[in-house]
Structure formats: C-alpha cells, structure tokens
Structure 1
Amino acid sequence: MKRLGPLLTLGAMAVLAVVLLVINMSKETEPTPNSAAATTTAPAAATTPGTPTTSINAATPFPAKADYVGTIPLQSGGTLTLSIAVQGSKATAYACDGQSIESWLQGSATNGSLQLTGKNNARLDGSFDGKAVNGTLRIGGEQWGFTAAPVQPPAGLYVYNDGGERESWIVDSNGGVTGVRRAADGSTSPAPALATDATAIVNGKKVTASKVSGGDSAG
C-alpha cells in the first residue's frame, strides 16, 4: 500500500499534464478576431498615372442662330461690352468700351467651341455650356476672362457703314447701348445714340443700322 500511493500520484500528474497540453494546443490553433489570419484588406483600386480625378464636361453645341452679350470690367474702371453672334458654324464678335476701344473678330463656332481672330492679334476663345459662353478675350496685348449670356432681339450687335466710316453698337438684354464710331482715318470716338428701332443720326442724317449675324463680315 505504501508503494501504491506514489504510483497513483504519478498517474494523476500525468493525466493533468495531458489535459493542459490539449488546452494549450486548442488555444494556439483557434484564430482570434484581431489576429492577422482573421483580418482581410481589400486591394486598392488601380489608377493610371496622369488620369484626372474629376471629369471635364464637354461643350454643348450652339443653337443654329443665337446672340450672346456680356460685360468685362477693366482695371481702369471702365467696362468692355462684348457681343457674340453665332450662325451655323460661324461666329462674329465685337467688343468695345463705348469710347475708343473696339475690336471685331470672326471665326468658327464648332461643337460649342469658338475660335475667333481679329486685327492686331485680337483673339477670342470660348465654349458654350448650354447656358452661356465662357472664355478668354485678348485685345491689344491685354487679356480678360468673360461670360456672355444669351439675349433675344432686339438685343445683339448692329453696324452701319458709310464712306469708310463705321458705327458699331451692342444692345444688351436691358436695352442699354454701347457703341464706337471709327472714322475713315482710323480714329475712334463714342458712337451716336441708337434708337429702339435701330435708327441713328449719323452726320446729320437718319440711318438704319443692320443687325449682325454670325456669318456677316462687318469689321
């Protein structure tokens, strides 16, 4: 009996060791929620170098015939008035300050984009977004951004030519008129008043101005 006690003790210890080993093995093989084996990461979306993150809306085609008028503030404190007449695939634009600055430009109106040029390296680049024409105007080495909204007749661009002298007017959506007279010698001055019926007194006689369309060459 004295020998049996130690044997029973050793047997109990062996059973306990086996139980502890099984428990430890169970803990090692079961992944926990925070373990690397249980965590998955979605692969990053592939990107192409140079690909823009935002899309650029394409220009909207112009109506078959339309007029647009806008104003451009000048650093001198004055204002340039800009008129753009579009007809089919052609456009004519005119900008003036009502005093001495003026420029006529002509060119294409294709797929909602304008590319117009004039004398002395004048240039107008613009696009139609379905609501207005936005772009850049360059005259005499200066450059301005602009927005020109659509207008309905009698608003628009008017001109009268006689004996080498030209009177040009822009009528805005509120009936306001801005115009410049260019004499035969190239000098400029404010144009005479233009009435609502498109008539004016030029050199003492009453004349009727012609409304300019996109395909007209009046400059």
Structure 2
Amino acid sequence: MTRRGPLLTLAAAAVLGLALLGVNMSKEEPAPAAATAPAASVVPPTAAPSPAAATGPAPASAPFPAKADYVGTITRAAGPPLTLAITVEDGAVTAYACDGAAVETWLQGRVIDDVAKLEGRNGARLEGRAGGGAVRGTLWIGDKSWEFTAPVVTGEAGLYAATDSGVRQSWIVDGSGGVTGVRRGADGATAPAGPLPTTATRIGGGDGVG
C-alpha cells in the first residue's frame, strides 16, 4: 500500500471525529453472520512493534498521558482474533474492537483515578491501566471477557472511521502497519471494511507514551 497522504488538520479531525463517534455509538453490536476477514492493507510502519508476551509481572500502573494511542490483539478461543484500539485525549477515552469480519464494538469513557473505565452498547465494557508503554486490562463483550495488553503506537498507527450515505467503516492501523476494519451498512449488517482511504478521519491521534 502506498503511503497515506497528510492527515487532516487537528481542528478538522477533531470536529469530524466527534460527529463520527455520534454515529458509531448509535450503531453498535456485532451481527451474528460470520465472514472471511479481509487481506490486511499495509501502511508503512511508524511505531515500535508490539512487545513479546510478558514473562514476568506486569509493570506498575502509571497515570495516562494527556494524549496517546494504543493498539493490541486479543486471541479468542473461537473465531478470528480481535484487534483493539484505545485512544486517550485529556482524560476522555475511546476504544474500538473488531475482528475484521463481522464483530465490532465502540466504547467510550474516562480515566478515573488512573483507571480507564469505558462502556458501550449491550453491556460492552473495558477497564485498563497504563504502565510500561501499554494499557493492560479486561474487555467484556456480551457474556465473553478477555484480558488484553495494548502497546502504545505512534505515527499513522491508530483508529480511523468514515461514514457515507449511512454506511460506516472503521479501521485500526497497528504498530506494524496492518489494517483491520469492519463495514456496517445502514441496515446494521456487517462485513469486512474496504481499503483504508486517505479521506478517513482519525479518531484521537496522540503521540504520548504511557
């Protein structure tokens, strides 16, 4: 994939991001249909790769930075893995998890006493703490829950969304440049998202290290 063009200016991205989140939070949970995950698009990597699985105790928690993006992968017992993006800006936190096929959920919340506490539709929840360059915590979707580690990412890695004629597409770019996304139609049906366009709006976009 060729390099993305320049990102929207901070002011424009902030306005569009808020508008898109209003749509995102009104159309949430996964459709039951399964689909084959799309081939990953590639953005030139601009962030450190995800660290190897921890072999010792987790680092002590620390305050969240004013602005930061985190992306991690959650392995599930059944179905493709979930990709999780978390973006923090001045204490407000947005998260998006999807499997690149049919499952997706948006969550929003705040950092309270150094703990990010988020909620989404149909009982989706997330709690996490920052420390050691990552957010570690638990994600709940329906009656399932998973522990996760989402390393901090910088550059073009992060969370993106676009809405056109009632169709919303959401993408997560990970620290290695891989892209995972889901398309949700006006009727609520989900499918793999198309290629990430240069016109997509970035949600958040911090370069902090937590």
Q: TM-score, with normalisation over the residues of structure 2?
A: 0.67
CA deviation string 1:137-195 (max 9, x = no partner): 0112110000000000200000001222110000001100000000011110000011x
Structure-1 separation of matches of 2:125 and 2:60: 21
One-letter amino acid matched to 2:72 = G
- 1:138 matched to 2:129? The reply is no
- 1:212 matched to 2:203? The reply is yes
CA contact (8 A) 1:165 1:183 kept: yes
Structure-1 separation of matches of 2:181 and 2:143: 22
- 1:179 matched to 2:170? The reply is no
CA deviation string 1:41-97 (max 9, x = no partner): xxxxxxxxxxxxxxx986311111000000000111510000000001100000000
Structure-1 separation of matches of 2:94 and 2:63: 16
Q: TM-score, with normalisation over the residues of structure 1?
A: 0.64
Structure-1 separation of matches of 2:166 and 2:185: 7
CA contact (8 A) 1:82 1:95 kept: yes
Moved over 6 A (4+): none
> Partner residue of 1:87?
89
Superposed, 1:1-219 pairs within 5 Å as: 59-194=61-196, 198-199=197-198, 208-213=199-204
Moved more, 75-84 or 97-106: 75-84
Larger helix proportion of the pair: 1
Identity of aligned residues (%): 55
Q: How many residue pairs align between the two structures?
A: 149
Q: Aligned-pair distance for 1:112?
A: 2.8
CA contact (8 A) 1:112 1:129 kept: no
Structure-1 separation of matches of 2:179 and 2:202: 13
> Partner residue of 1:50?
none
Gapped runs of 5+ residues in structure 2? 1-57, 206-210
Larger RCO, structure (CA 8 Å, separation 6 or more): 2
